[in-house]
Structure 1
Amino acid sequence: MTGIKNRHGRRIRLLFSGAAGQTGELGGAELAAALRVREDLPRLSKKTAFSRGTGLSKSLCDWVLEKILGFAPVGAEIRLEGKRPLFFRVPPDLGNFVNDINCVIVRDQYDAGAVRDGIVVDAGANIGVFTLYALALGAKKVYAFEAVSETFNMLGGNLALNRAGGRVRAVNAALGARAATAALKLAPCGGGASMIECPGTAVNRGVRYSGVRLVKLAPLDALVRGRVDFIKIDVEGYEEEVLKGAGRLISRHKPVLSFAAYHRKTDGRTLPKTVLSLRNDYKIRRNSFAEQDLYCS
């Protein structure tokens, strides 16, 4: 099996297909080049030549990826050594999709080995990258929560492509500490930056949101009954509220918690305290395999 190696030294192939039947693959060098462009995007996207050549609606990272592949991809297949392949409909935001594949699967940022034979919660499921990765690693069942209805529809399409069936319960819901109503800021094109509005914070300050929608919040404790073994959370700065809303599940079952801890400057201090206030026998470590995350076991 050719391809690139993940953080654990196992081979992964990133295959793409176009609307006219084209096929292509991203190798390690091509993936790294595209992601470097994505990191430099705020500076590079201001260049007038780029704006004239590709239009303001398409990011430079998307343009580079399409140049590398030779076409605009509509489908993706992720082949994992020793695992079943994963299939995706490529979302409009190609650059962020490829970055998610790199962080979640190639770098295994959530250290997801503990999902095997377990009941998993994916809080902030987006289009299903972590949900489907967890199934490939042997999770028995995944509860996938996505607040944005348009993104939730993409998630449903990817679950159908992978014949996830009864192994995934997808829920179009926003999670919080308690039942309430909140303003959800919408990222364009199904991007993962949609977030519950929190006045006075600098989370995702550079993102241009397409609108705001009122949504109902629900605590995880009210939506999941029975044992939970692993909870992954990436909800753009709302992680603390989601943890508080899962207090009963955490206290009763002590699931592994693996979640983003970089959206707010105070996350590194406040989130460990929140976890230990819910159950004080967790061992907490910081992971920086891709982004800054906390892993609690």
Structure 2
Amino acid sequence: MLKHLTTEAINPASESLDDFTTYEIVQLINGQDAGVAQAVAKQTQPIADAIDVIADRLAKGGRLIYFGAGTSGRLGVLDASECPPTFNSDPKQVVGLIAGGPIALTTAVEGAEDHPELAVQDLQGIQLSGKDVAVGIATSGRTPYVVGGLDYAQQIGAFSIGLACNDNNELASRCDLAITPVVGPEVVSGSTRMKAGTATKMVLNILSTGAMIRIGKTFGNLMVDLRASNIKLHARAIRIVGAATDLGEAEADQLLKRCGGEVKTAIFVYLADKTPEEACRLLEQADGHLKQALRTAGEGSSPA
């Protein structure tokens, strides 16, 4: 029942919210948000365990699949959509599904979350397999769409992860690993797009970023696999090459052009004194891990 969920409870700190000044409203919401990071911190171990599984599956050709309804589904789609431009990942490698389909990203699709069979259809539609990781996201921990999806994931052998913001939630018994940042009652009762949404966004950021780091998408803390698909990202690519090589802007830009715009290749070419073709071959042998490839080539092991 909803009344037993902490995310649906009345928050005593905001019972007189409509009498607050605007300043007091901002102060209260900000103060309540301050506890979200602490709730996520308590889930460090399961999050770390999830990253290891996700990275292993991605390295072996599997995918990371998020699915949820409402805010939870939107956040999953958002995280998935940001992986290609950030890490130059294949758009099919991290996938987000939302109950009700793409239209539900901007328009509420009433009742879509109440049908577990719709999640099965959506997961079958993307051919979920035993090689994949399926992350079911439901603040309440009881959304039928997510429960149905996790049950299906387990049936076919995909590694299943349940992300919820309430203790003793139903997802925990329907998945291989549970992540449960408990954020408590919302400032506006039941408005889980707030603290619960923030916690969900934080966890998803960590999952995808951590997994991408583990499969070699960074060099130190530099995003060396980014896709320079617009002016801003091209400028960032130049800065990253410059940071890793100590080259000036013009030289870094020239090196990037020589390497087909590939940041990782450009850095390797400079640090290992190789041709772009040799760099690509050695990086492929190292499964894309720049630092590992440089060590193999007998060169530096960290960014300048």
**TM-score strictly above 0.5:** no
**Richer in strand (by share):** 1
Higher relative contact order (CA 8 A, sep 6+): 2
Larger Rg: 2
- Normalising by structure 2, we get a TM-score of 0.35
- Normalising by structure 1, we get a TM-score of 0.35
**Richer in helix (by share):** 2
